Amino acid sequence: MKDLGLHRFEQRKATIGTVLDHLGEVRLVDSGREKRGRLLRLELHAPGHGLPVQGTFIYAEWYRRVAQGWRLTRYQYDYLDRRLGGRLGYHWHTLTRRSAAYHAHCEQVLGTPTVQHYRSYEVDLLEAHEEFVRRYAADEPIDCSGLRPLI
């Protein structure tokens, strides 16, 4: 992702909030806009509005201030299936004694990963959300069988 100027950052935040709002109750936290580092965190509970939560979508992006505005430095995008159990996540951050790495998390039973990290690639928040929503709507358990462990 390219560096985001202040206007583009605010546009991105508004677009993401609007997309998420169609599915349930959204909580947005934008902290650090006056500092060197900034965290944009959105949590969506679906379907929300007083109904039992069936899925939780958590998106966190960390940015560093640069001359042009803000540069994405890491992210964590997670879907938690509250009906059938399970978790799928796409992350980009430092792993133990390594440089930052794109990787996935997958748990067929929430809280019991069989592999700590799976191979992945750069994923945009809206791409991740699109995949998570498909899984949420399919009403099928999360399947980790097609993923390869990160070595």
- The mean predicted confidence, pLDDT, of the chain is 93
Q: Does a structural domain hold residue 78? A: yes
Q: Measured between alpha carbons, how far is residue 143 from residues 7, 30, 39, 109, 127 in Å?
A: 39, 32, 30, 10, 18
- What is the rounded distance in angstroms from the CA atom of residue 65 to the CA atom of residue 122? 21
pTM for this predicted structure = 0.93
Query: If pLDDT is split at 50, 70 and 90, which confidence band does 43 have?
Result: very high
Q: Does a structural domain hold residue 10? A: yes
Give the structural domain span for 63.
Answer: 6-126
Q: Is the CB of residue 61 less than 8 Å from the CB of residue 105?
A: no
Q: Does a structural domain hold residue 83? A: yes
Q: Does a structural domain hold residue 141? A: no
Count of domains forming the chain: 1
Which neighbouring-strand residues pair with 92?
Answer: 75, 102
* Cα-Cα end-to-end distance for the chain: 26
Give the whole-number percent of the chain exceeding pLDDT 90: 81
Q: Does a structural domain hold residue 146? A: no
Q: Does a structural domain hold residue 137? A: no
Residue 119 has what pLDDT?
94
Q: Does a structural domain hold residue 102? A: yes
Per-residue pLDDT tens for 30-41?
Answer: 998 889 999 999
Q: Does a structural domain hold residue 122? A: yes
User: Which pair of tokens denotes residue 103?
Assistant: 């990787």
